[in-house]
A = this chain, B = another copy of it.
Amino acid sequence: MSRTSTSSSRARTEQPSEPTGRDTEDDLEAPCSIARSLEIIGDRWTILILRDAFRGLRRFDELRRDLGIPRAVLADRLKKLVDAGVLHRRRYQEHPPRDEYRLTPMGIELSPILVALMHWGDRWLADDGPPTVLVHEPCGTDVELGFHCRTCDVDFPPTAIVSRPGPGSAA
């Protein structure tokens, strides 16, 4: 997903009723995509909720039981994730009214973050081997997550990365 030229993907950031000029104190968000991501998913419970969402859990009580999270905290995190556009709340039956939370495309694209967290934990914190392994479904091979250069057609280590100001930089 190199976003070289298709960078105009429109994200739905919240724009709270701001009809007039907005340019003084509105730009309080950090000029850093990591910081902006963390404003949405930078919470321990939130990541665990998303992990469970990827595992297929969808209902409030399923999540609450699996995580052992306080109800109020779960309700708050789910609401924030829905507001952010990461989860979608959907009523799937009317008669006992039951809602479920599902990942949106925005949420599904969080998977590299979770996989990276999991691989790192497997490598450095799992003394007895990985509790879970992810495999490529068609063939059963372990999933690899790595840096790749399309031009050179090579995988490379993090030390081969340099950063540059992008189009959204302040300067």
Q: How far is the CB of A104 from chain B (nearest CB, A)?
A: 10
- CB pair B168–A37 under 8 Å, yes or no, is no
In the bound complex, how far is the Cα of B3 from the Cα of A119, in angstroms?
8
Additional 8 contacts, C-beta under 8 A, given A33-B130, A135-B162, A144-B147 = A3-B44, A7-B122, A34-B121, A109-B123, A129-B168, A135-B161, A138-B160, A143-B147
Does A90 reach chain B (CB closer than 8 Å)? no
CB contacts (< 8 Å) of A113 on chain B: these are: 113, 116-117, 120
- A24: CB under 8 A from chain B? no
A48 touches B118 (CB 8 A): no
A21 within 8 A of B: no
A132 near B169: Cβ-Cβ < 8 Å: yes
Q: Is the interface of A mostly helix, strand, loop or mixed?
A: mixed
Q: Specify which chain B residues have a CB less than 8 angstroms from the CB of A166 in the assembled complex.
A: 122, 129-133
Contact code string A106-146 (vs B, CB < 8 Å = 1, else 0) = 10111111111111111111111111111111110111111
Closest CB of chain B to A13's CB: distance in Å?
Answer: 6
Within 27-43 of A, Cβ neighbours of B (below 8 Å) are at 29, 31-38, 40, 42-43
Query: Is A92 in contact with chain B by the CB < 8 A criterion?
Result: no
Q: A161 to chain B: which residues have CB within 8 Å?
A: 111, 115, 134-137, 143
Q: Measured between alpha carbons, how far is A18 from B168 in the docked complex, in Å? A: 52
Nearest-neighbour CB distance to chain B for A98, whole angstroms, equals: 24
- Per-residue CB proximity of A10-29 to B under 8 Å, as 1/0? 11110000000000000001
